Amino acid sequence: MGLFPQTFIDDLRLQANIVQVIQEYVSLKKAGRTYKGLCPFHSEKSPSFNVDPEKGFFHCFGCHVGGDVFKFLELHEKVDFPEAVRLLAHKFGLSLPEQSEGSGDDATRRDAGLREALLKAHEMAAAYFREQLASPAGARARQQLAERQVPAATIEQLGLGFAPQSRDGLKSRLLGQGFSQGLLIQSGLLVQRDGGPSTGSGPARAESRAGEVVDRFRNRLMVPICRDTGSVIAFGGRAMDADQVPKYLNSPETPIYSKSRTLYGLHLSKSAIRKLGYAVLVEGYFDFAQVFQTDAAPAVASCGTALTPQQAQLLGRFTKKIVLSFDPDAAGQGAAARSCELLVAEGFDVNVVMLDKGEDPDTFIRRKGPAQYRERLKSSQPYLEYLLDQAALGLDLGHDENRRQFLGKMLTVAARIPEAAARDQFADRIAHKARITEDVVRAEIRKAAVNRRTAVTARELPAGGQLKPAERGLIWGLFHKTQEAQAALADLEPGDLEQLAGREVFELARSLHGQPADVLPSELLRRLSTMSAQLVTGVAGEHTAPVSGPGDLTECARILKRLRCERERAAIQREIDRLQGLGLTQHGDEINLLVNQKRTLAQRIEELKN
């Protein structure tokens, strides 16, 4: 695997409590010797996500995702294996070992080194912007924050800063810290101009010399954007002057920052979201700041764009209930409407809070206070109910044509609801509103849902159904009767594994024969492909053995040997049939030889049955 010594990975795996790690992301409840919760990788209302602390793996029986503690972090944090090791070591306070020469893949090492350098550059940049805000140059920015009623405590918590007018202030600081200019351009903190007017410096714009490398952010109030672990990965810069364009200038996509996978403020509010069971989705940085500092509600910001599926999945780690604050003029339109539709499709309970015309959470709380904002949240309307009311506005549902128009609008929304029971409940509300029989509406929605599903690309699932009972028995044994399973596999030959759905699993397990029994299950999961790991954890997560009885695993191995003999006998019979079709006189000797081989295999099959 490279990069880290195997002994360090083994020690880390033994020290890392998989339940403790996953509970940071998923609410788990004990169920016998395992733990259960709602899967963080797909939408569900009944828990099918299982964690086995004794064997050190997780598996979802709904979407079939599975693996060990490293795989969980890889999937959840969208990182590679070395980065998952770093995250886990940090969580459990272990120092990373020195990287040895020639260990691991060069490309992997370079990628990990680049990510670390980019994170460090952003950390230094955030410190620089904070320093500038506190300096005389930041007086206007401090005044603007005061006018927005953002106190010093909130400024510190959010890490707000100021980018001065200077074209190379940050550039000089970071170059002096040892960062290369190329890396800083890649980070998005610097930009290489191609000439023409500058977009970052405000009214006193100067022509940039072609090829000149300058600070991206100048004369801007700086807002650091963090991943949910708290590391700074990007910035948003708000214009200081009315005629400065653009009003908001954001970091570009980089190896550490993907806008579609990031929610502003989540690192500060995730604990409150879990505790209170819901999140308020707002649009802007200062909407979040006002809601956060007044403790009005647990909030995150989408920063003015429609929510993405990745952001919805990120939110789903912490809650399945979302409240959106809408400007009445924009309600049901644009990014807000698309966000609602996505959240409904992902299985969230979505409510809509209507503020006064022209108000957003920032201005509303400043004008009326957090208590009134909380009252508005309490009276928020379920989004689907809101849609029903909006779709019916201006329509006389006493006329057939208007009813058909209303039903047509609602069908596409209803078809996106993933849970059949919730779809039927919405159908009943539509029927009541439109004065149509419930059975008719339910039937139309089911047809629309089926048509929608056929257009969606199905997930590739592990071929668990192709596993023979003996294969399932041996896979289960590798986790629950490891030594017996190792001994049974050692008795098999490579030919016994051909054409088996579990071939990759068994071949890898045989290659790990020297591993201690307590290490083999987790080492097996680490080395398997994602699809095979999902298949394995699905079988290992079963509470009872697929086969049982004295010598059960030895019997499983005997069955696989017998199946090989049956495959070979069938192949010989096909060859006999082919030769007989060509003529007995020409191929008589060959056919006699094959008949003898077939007879020998038949005897062997009988022996293996006894």
- CATH number for the domain formed by residue range(s) 464-609: 1.10.860.10
Which run of H or E residues covers position 154? Answer: helix 152-158
- Cα–Cα distances in Å, from 214 out to 80, 188, 245, 333, 424? 32, 11, 17, 38, 58
Strand ranges for 364-418 from DSSP E: 381-382
**Helix/strand/coil for 362:** helix
pLDDT tens column, 364-395: 999 999 999 999 999 998 888 888 887 787 77
pLDDT value of residue 240: 96
Mean pLDDT of 90-99: 71
Least confident of 98-107, 345-354, 493-502: 98-107
How many other C-beta atoms lie within 10 A of the C-beta of residue 533? 23
Apex CA 316: angle with CA 314 and CA 318, to 5°?
95
Mean pLDDT of 256-275: 88
Q: Give the gyration radius of the chain's Cα atoms.
A: 31
Q: In this model, does residue 544 exceed pLDDT 60? A: yes
pLDDT tens column, 170-195: 999 999 999 999 999 999 999 998 75
82 token code pair: 């070395």
Residue 402: pLDDT band by 50, 70, 90 thresholds? confident
DSSP summary character for residue 279: E
**Helix/strand/coil for 239:** strand
407 token code pair: 């039903």
Cis bond upstream, residue 418 (ω within 30)? no
Q: Are 264 and 285 in contact (CB under 8 A)?
A: yes
Residue type, 294: T
Listed by start position, the domains of the chain span 6-91, 109-257, 266-388, 394-454, 464-609
Higher pLDDT, 376 or 43: 376
Backbone angles phi, psi at 195, to 5 degrees: 90, 170
Answer whether 0.75 is exceeded by the pTM. Answer: no
Residue 148 CB contacts under 8 Å (≥ 6 apart), including other chains:
286, 289, 290, 362, 366
Name the CATH superfamily housing domain 109-257: DNA primase, catalytic core, N-terminal domain (3.90.980.10)
pLDDT tens column, 416-458: 787 777 888 888 888 888 777 788 788 877 777 665 533 322 2
Beta pairing partners, 37? 49
DSSP summary character for residue 113: H
Q: What percent of the chain has pLDDT over 90?
A: 29
Q: Which CATH number fits domain 266-388: 3.40.1360.10, 3.40.630.30, 3.90.1150.10, 3.40.50.720?
A: 3.40.1360.10
Which run of H or E residues covers position 266? Answer: helix 266-276
CA–CA distance, 548 with 499 (Å, rounded to integer): 24
Apex CA 41: angle with CA 36 and CA 46, to 5°?
40
100 token code pair: 């040895």
Apex CA 556: angle with CA 532 and CA 51, to 5°?
40
**Helix/strand/coil for 603:** helix
pLDDT value of residue 499: 78
Residue 5 CB contacts under 8 Å (≥ 6 apart), including other chains:
97, 100, 103
- CA-wise closest residue to 539 among 551, 555, 554, 556: 556
CA–CA distance, 160 with 132 (Å, rounded to integer): 10
| Full 3-state SS string of 70-102 | HHHHHHHHCCCHHHHHHHHHHHCCCCCCCCCCC
6-91 topology per CATH: DNA Primase; Chain A (3.90.580)
Residue 502: pLDDT band by 50, 70, 90 thresholds? confident
Q: In this model, does residue 595 exceed pLDDT 90? A: no
pLDDT value of residue 190: 97
- CA-wise closest residue to 592 among 568, 610, 575: 575
- CA-wise closest residue to 267 among 223, 297, 319, 225: 225
Mean pLDDT of the residues in the chain: 82
Mean pLDDT of 353-372: 91
Beta pairing partners, 300? 281
Which single residue is written with the structure tokens 């980018």? 163
As a 3-state breakdown, the chain gives helix, strand, coil percent values, each rounded to 5, of 55, 10, 35
CA–CA distance, 94 with 4 (Å, rounded to integer): 13
pLDDT value of residue 457: 29
- CA-wise closest residue to 79 among 89, 71, 69, 67: 71
CA–CA distance, 208 with 187 (Å, rounded to integer): 20
610 token code pair: 């006894």
447 token code pair: 């047809």
Which run of H or E residues covers position 400? Answer: helix 400-415
Higher pLDDT, 296 or 83: 296
DSSP summary character for residue 228: T
Q: Are 525 and 535 in contact (CB under 8 A)?
A: no
**218: exposed, middle or buried (C-beta count within 10 Å: 0-12, 13-18, 19+)?**
buried
- Cα–Cα distances in Å, from 454 out to 1, 238, 274? 40, 44, 35
Q: In this model, does residue 596 exceed pLDDT 80? A: yes
Beta pairing partners, 249? 237
